Chains A and B, each alone.
Chain A
Amino acid sequence: MSSRGNIKKLADMLESKKISCTELTQSYIDEIEKSNGELNAYVKKTPEIALDTAKKVDEKISKGEKLSSLEGIPMTLKDNISTDGIETTCCSKILKGYVPIYDATVWDILKKQNAVLLGKTNMDEFAMGSSCETSCFGGAKNPHNINHVAGGSSGGAASAVGGNIAVYGLGSDTGGSIRQPASFCGVVGLKPTYGAVSRYGLIAYASSLDQIGPITTSVEDAAIVFDAISAYDKMDSTSRGRQGAATVDTLNNSIKGMKIGIAKEYIEGVRDDVREAVMNAAKVYESLGAEIVYFDLPVLKYALPVYYILACAEASSNLGRYDGIRYGFKAEHYDDVNDMVKKTRSEGFGDEVKRRILLGTYVLSSGYYDAYYKKAQNLRGTIVNAFKEAFTKCNVILAPTVPMTAFENGNAISDPVETYLTDICTVPVNICGLPAVSVPCGFNAKGMPIGMQLIGDSFSEATILNVAHQYETAVPEAFRASDFGVKL
């Protein structure tokens, strides 16, 4: 078993006064100082805020007050989650210096619980990328081997949690941005059902696909964090909140008789070591009394183009507001307003962001709208229906998270299309708004973690976390910690 901290263990230690919150927080701050140079997980550290909160928690403990589930637990936020008074940049030059004047709903919830914010984590610029390397701060590194990327876009969160320099982190997942780096870094990443967690304050990439979720070291931690942040929010019209009881209560339910589906199209074309690890997990499930059912999901081949058309279209509109007029970066020399906007964007956005804005603008243009955007919208409906039908055959779908393990540094951005293809297993979930959790399911020959995902029907987080937790209990060695960070 890993020796790293998890939420329940740390909460017990705090309440039983084995460690003070200040000591706990300081140990994370110290480890960040030691390791962040190599991991580049944090782009903004907030030790003063963390220690201030820790002091408050210690006062509560000394008064014998009861702590809530996440009180005093050191954590991080991805740098696209708005934090009042703390610079939030989406790791883009164009937002450098931008300090929000309001809190994202998720941070508002956690702040009220005295969550200890260690800092803001690295990400691909505006969450566009699969390696974290499009960040204007350079990419986060993989704690299992720093010659490899942490993945993306929430690479910083996965690197920090995998490197044990944060207990948990909130990331965002538009096409796999929580699950893919979680898979690469050997940790757990939950992408909740669209609408389960408020998007208010999450700086948008693609609004109909974006969803905030936790990256943690255990399934139980993911359940605790999800339960805390999945509340209906009147500030987000698409918010529904968690439908049903706390997911943490049903983690230990038996999965005997449960049907776990495997779609051929998810397994084909992935690397052998990945396929083998996933099929081994299927065997574990059979041994736990679940039934494995196989079926075809041919619509999956449309998922990638549908995703890139819709995501880029929405992004081209969402990113239009960065013009240098109100906040963030502004070009220094310009002739007039139009020139200022043009130069601000040319200098402020990175290549990948520009590429997606151009793609999105193109597919929405009159004359091309029907051929691309409208067709993609129609296909989105087709894919949604195909998944609905699949869930008449099984309770959850088991699939690889990524067709491979973490790329070596620098390999991802050399060929963008090749990199887009690696999102094949993660994007269908976003297209359909479904929940999915990526959990570690072993290591390849080079010692790099492999991840699998469990996909559920809408608002069935309790089910997928239950199934994931049963695997973790059966195969704890798949959750082996990296050598970095805090040991407790």
Chain B
Amino acid sequence: MKYEMVAGFETHVELSTKTKIFCGCTTQFGGDPNTHCCPICIGLPGTLPKLNRQVVRYAVMAGLATNCTIPEIAKMDRKNYCYPDLPKAYQISQFDMPLCVGGYIPLSNGRKIRLTRIHIEEDAGKLIHRHGDTLVDYNRGGVPLIEIVSEPDIRSIEEAREYVEKLQLIMRYIGVSDCKMQEGSMRCDVNISVREVGSDKLGTRTEIKNMNSINFIAKAMEYEFERQVDILENGGKVIQETLRYDDVTNTTSSMRGKEDANDYRYFRDPDLVTISVSREEVEELRNLLPELPVQKAERYVSELGLSETDAALLTKYRKIAEFYEEASKGTKNPKTAANFIIGQIFRRLDTESDKEAFDIKVSAEDLRELIKLIDDGKIKMNLAKSTLEKMLDTGKKATEFISESDMGGLDEATMISLCEQAVESNPNAVNDYKNGKEKAIKSLVGFVMKNSRGKADAVAAEAKIKELIAKA
């Protein structure tokens, strides 16, 4: 029997507002324990939450970028559960009136992963276990989160991977989160079940909690898929439960605890008023959204004539796309800038985080100046490439490395003279060519290029050399 995977995601994304969701404390990661706290975010008796409007705006932007509808009103609810990292014994979240509903993420295979909703909520603190004691750090408590809930539309690990990457990409692009999974600013819970291929029924699902790496998600889903198939093949039944993924043993295990046994007793938070999102504000936020990566890549292909692969590479990080657009602006061939970036510049950026940071010494304007020298026929590609290396090393402009005499090409007389020299000083190559070795001409052209410091026109030189040999 053949089985297919059915999975849905609940993704927590930390918003990059400067201050927390209900108080003025900083959201900065790290810091000595309990130093980013105040009476409000540690829930001292009598304190009241005050909603940070930027949180609403970022969440609405996230919704608009993922094709969600934004209802005119939303409300905040209390999710009650008792745990030492939650100082009020309830988390302020959204239950039945979230900020965003009904969006989708398009995948490259043409399928759409539907989003049920996006809501805002506060993060909890962190427990630290040390020397047999448990300590609690509330620095993270009250940091704003959005929870993006998908429908169970994911059918494979490849789709899961693409879904998470796309979400990450979009959130970073629109600037609402840095989505650093290793720092926990993006975390995923996966609901997963299996069914026979062709069936439209949903199987019993399990939920794998709190994963902070795309590779772990893939491995955990693979393990859990096989585990469930095994159970069904052997006539067993999958139990609905919450699981923890262990990346050392690559297994999932049942997680009894705070999440399981609870009835959250949701009710509207009486300390907060109804959130109104006017249509004007929605439009204002829509206008603030940058062109999204998918749209950008499409445009690069259709308008600029780049390959799909190159377009994808250039749009993966917003900084790179912006750099590319600035560098290629007004140049003759948009591919030239693309080749420089994907070739020489990417060679210096080893990791994904290097690419994301895109910390290079050359400005887009300086690269554009270099390309213009090529466009104007002032320098040849070879010289441009070696110049770019020097620019990347030093941060200096192209003109620092190219002398006046390098530019303006080669005059006819010099070119002919160099070609004559090439024929005269390389009798072996000339003979080889005469004897039918077509390739031998290349070394003669090479001579001309070298001695002209790359300024000669290789095609013209080759023609001249052939002419000289034929005459001889």
Are A208 and B270 also in contact (CB < 8 A) when A199-B48, A237-B51, A317-B90 are?
Answer: yes
Are A200 and B47 also in contact (CB < 8 A) when A314-B270, A317-B89 are?
Answer: yes
Is A207 close to B, CB under 8 A? Answer: yes
CA distance A144 to B84 in the complex (A): 47
Interface string of A247-283 (1 = CB under 8 A from B): 0000000000000000000000000000000000000
Residue pair B82, A201 in contact (C-beta under 8 Å): no
* Chain A, range 295-327, C-beta contacts under 8 Å to B: 313-314, 316-317, 320-321, 323, 325-327
Which segment, of A100-108, A400-408, A410-418, A453-461, faces chain B? A100-108
Residue pair B46, A237 in contact (C-beta under 8 Å): no
Most chain B beta-carbon contacts within 10 A, residue among A207, A313, A317, A327: A317
Is B409 close to A, CB under 8 A? Answer: no
Q: Lowest 8 CB-CB distances: which A-B pairs, in order?
A: A320-B89, A208-B270, A364-B265, A207-B270, A203-B45, A201-B46, A82-B46, A203-B46
Is A28 close to B, CB under 8 A? Answer: no
Residue pair A317, B45 in contact (C-beta under 8 Å): no
CA distance A366 to B84 in the complex (A): 24
**Sample of 12 A–B contacts (CB below 8 Å):** A101-B44, A104-B46, A200-B46, A200-B48, A201-B46, A204-B45, A206-B270, A237-B48, A237-B50, A316-B265, A317-B267, A365-B265
Is A95 close to B, CB under 8 A? Answer: yes
* Chain B, range 34-51, C-beta contacts under 8 Å to A: 39, 42-51
CA distance A366 to B263 in the complex (A): 7
CA distance A366 to B266 in the complex (A): 9
Residue pair A234, B46 in contact (C-beta under 8 Å): no
Interface string of B262-286 (1 = CB under 8 A from A): 0101110011110000000000000
State the B residues within 8 Å of A (CB). Answer: 39, 42-51, 78, 80, 82, 84, 87-90, 134, 136, 263, 265-267, 270-273
State the A residues within 8 Å of B (CB). Answer: 80-82, 88, 90, 95, 98, 100-102, 104, 199-204, 206-208, 234-238, 313-314, 316-317, 320-321, 323, 325-327, 337, 341, 361, 364-366, 369, 373
CA distance A286 to B366 in the complex (A): 90
Q: Which residues of B contact A98 (CB under 8 A)?
A: 45
Residue pair B84, A325 in contact (C-beta under 8 Å): yes
Residue pair A320, B44 in contact (C-beta under 8 Å): no
Are A317 and B47 also in contact (CB < 8 A) when A237-B272, A323-B89, A341-B82 are?
Answer: no
Look across to chain B and name the residue whose beta carbon is closest to the beta carbon of A365. Answer: B263
Are A337 and B84 also in contact (CB < 8 A) when A317-B89, A321-B89 are?
Answer: yes
B21 → chain A closest CB, angstroms = 13
Are A101 and B39 also in contact (CB < 8 A) when A320-B88, A321-B89, A325-B136 are?
Answer: yes
Other-chain contact of B48, A236, A326, A341, A365 (Cβ < 8 Å):
A236
Are A317 and B78 also in contact (CB < 8 A) when A337-B84, A364-B265 are?
Answer: yes
Q: Which residues of A contact B270 (CB under 8 A)?
A: 206-208, 238, 314
A173 → chain B closest CB, angstroms = 16
Q: Which residues of A contact B134 (CB under 8 A)?
A: 337
B23 → chain A closest CB, angstroms = 10
Q: Which residues of A contact B272 (CB under 8 A)?
A: 237
Look across to chain A and name the residue whose beta carbon is closest to the beta carbon of B39. Answer: A102
Look across to chain A and name the residue whose beta carbon is closest to the beta carbon of B85. Answer: A325
B5 → chain A closest CB, angstroms = 30
CA distance A191 to B90 in the complex (A): 29
Residue pair A321, B43 in contact (C-beta under 8 Å): yes
Residue pair A82, B45 in contact (C-beta under 8 Å): yes
Q: Which residues of A contact B82 (CB under 8 A)?
A: 320, 323, 341
Residue pair A327, B44 in contact (C-beta under 8 Å): yes
Other-chain contact of A326, B47, B49, B87 (Cβ < 8 Å):
B87
Q: Which residues of B contact A90 (CB under 8 A)?
A: 45
Look across to chain B and name the residue whose beta carbon is closest to the beta carbon of A238. Answer: B273
Look across to chain B and name the residue whose beta carbon is closest to the beta carbon of A327. Answer: B44
B77 → chain A closest CB, angstroms = 10
Residue pair B265, A317 in contact (C-beta under 8 Å): yes
Known: A204-B45, A320-B90. 5 other contacts (CB 8 A): A101-B44, A102-B44, A207-B270, A236-B48, A317-B90
A468 → chain B closest CB, angstroms = 29
Residue pair A237, B273 in contact (C-beta under 8 Å): yes
CA distance A438 to B178 in the complex (A): 56
Other-chain contact of A373, B39, B47, B267 (Cβ < 8 Å):
B267
Q: Which residues of B contact A313 (CB under 8 A)?
A: 267
Q: Which residues of A contact B42 (CB under 8 A)?
A: 326
Residue pair A235, B50 in contact (C-beta under 8 Å): yes
CA distance A381 to B78 in the complex (A): 21
B83 → chain A closest CB, angstroms = 9
CA distance A314 to B50 in the complex (A): 18
Q: Which residues of B contact A203 (CB under 8 A)?
A: 45-46
Most chain A beta-carbon contacts within 10 A, residue among B49, B78, B80, B265: B265
B405 → chain A closest CB, angstroms = 69
A244 → chain B closest CB, angstroms = 21
A136 → chain B closest CB, angstroms = 16
CA distance A112 to B252 in the complex (A): 59
CA distance A101 to B136 in the complex (A): 19
Most chain A beta-carbon contacts within 10 A, residue among B43, B45, B51, B89: B45
